[in-house]
Amino acid sequence: MNRSLIMAVFLLVVGNNIVIFSDSLIKLLDGFDAPFQFVLYRQVSAALILLPFIVFFKRPLLPRRLRWHATRAHIFLLGTVFMVVSLTTLPLATANAIFYAAPIITVVLARLLFKERVTRLSLVTAVLGMTGVLVIINPTSANIFALAALVVATTLALNNLLIKKLPPEHGIIDTLYLTNLLGIPVAACLTWFEGASFNLDTLFIAVGSSLFSMIYAGTCVFAYRAAESNKITSAEYTGLIGAVVLGMLFFTETPDVRFYVGSVLIIVPLTVLTLRNSKSVG
């Protein structure tokens, strides 16, 4: 069996369940009207958290060949701004349902931009997975702010695909560090234009959100470098199951029959796709 493929799927499952905590923290900013300030805090805190690792492993603080890193950094910045907007204006379930359009967008863009071969099985798996997401969430309150969530899904897909353009000598720590560092100047300018006053609670939430999102981003860097995107994107859907479990444990939410039907639509096709691809290249 292809161990790299198995590991890539496993890491995406773990990463998507961890990033739920980041979304939950952002949701605490209910009615928040200073998204640029939050984004700046998050990027600065992420760069500072990663800086000791850069120094310890003797990595260059600003290496060469930064074009694609800079591109990803500003796509990431755009996505984070729209993520704050969508999570603070939409119900958490609705926003996350739209975020999970990212795997389908990834498959489409992989075909259009990188000419990756999209098999019938991977396409069916993506469609069934998205159907499972909608069955579980049953979104009923989407509005114009849903467009912000759709922008988030698109930026996630683009950044996952652009990982393949990064210099191979730049590891996960380098990539996460540069993604946050290179976006700080633009984020600072937007924050200054926004003119919001300093908020300590926002800073604490931003630091926590940054930690969880970096873990997720790290798993994506490894996974999308290790395997073709159309073979692993369906693993992104499993984070929705973690969201329901988190709701059961901490918010006394009890899933109905839609949860079980949707889970089957997500997990079974993903398992079949992974085993089929593993056998074909193993």
Distance CA 51, CA 240 (A): 32
* Confidence (pLDDT) at 37: 94
Q: Give the per-residue pLDDT at 265.
A: 83
pLDDT for residue 140: 60
Q: Supply the pLDDT for residue 274.
A: 65
| pLDDT tens profile 4-57 | 888 888 888 889 889 888 888 888 886 667 899 999 999 999 999 999 999 999
- Minimal CA–CA distance to 72: which of 176, 208, 149? 176
- Tens of pLDDT, residue by residue over 137-166, are 666 655 677 788 889 989 998 998 898 889
Q: What is the pLDDT of residue 174?
A: 92
pLDDT score for 209: 92
Task: Output the pLDDT for position 256.
Answer: 74
Exposed, middle or buried by CB within 10 Å (0-12, 13-18, 19+), for 32? buried
pLDDT per position as a tens digit, 246-263: 767 765 667 678 778 877
Per residue in 166-223, pLDDT (tens digit) is 998 888 889 999 999 999 999 999 999 999 888 888 999 999 999 998 888 888 888 8
Q: Is the pLDDT of residue 1 over 60?
A: no
Q: Give the pLDDT score at 142.
A: 53
| 275 confidence band (pLDDT: 50, 70, 90) | low
The pLDDT assigned to 43 comes to 95
Q: What 3-state class would DSSP assign to 114?
A: helix
- pTM reported for the whole predicted model: 0.80
pLDDT in tens, 72-112: 999 999 999 999 988 887 777 777 777 877 777 887 788 77
Burial of 60 (0-12, 13-18, 19+ CB in 10 A): exposed
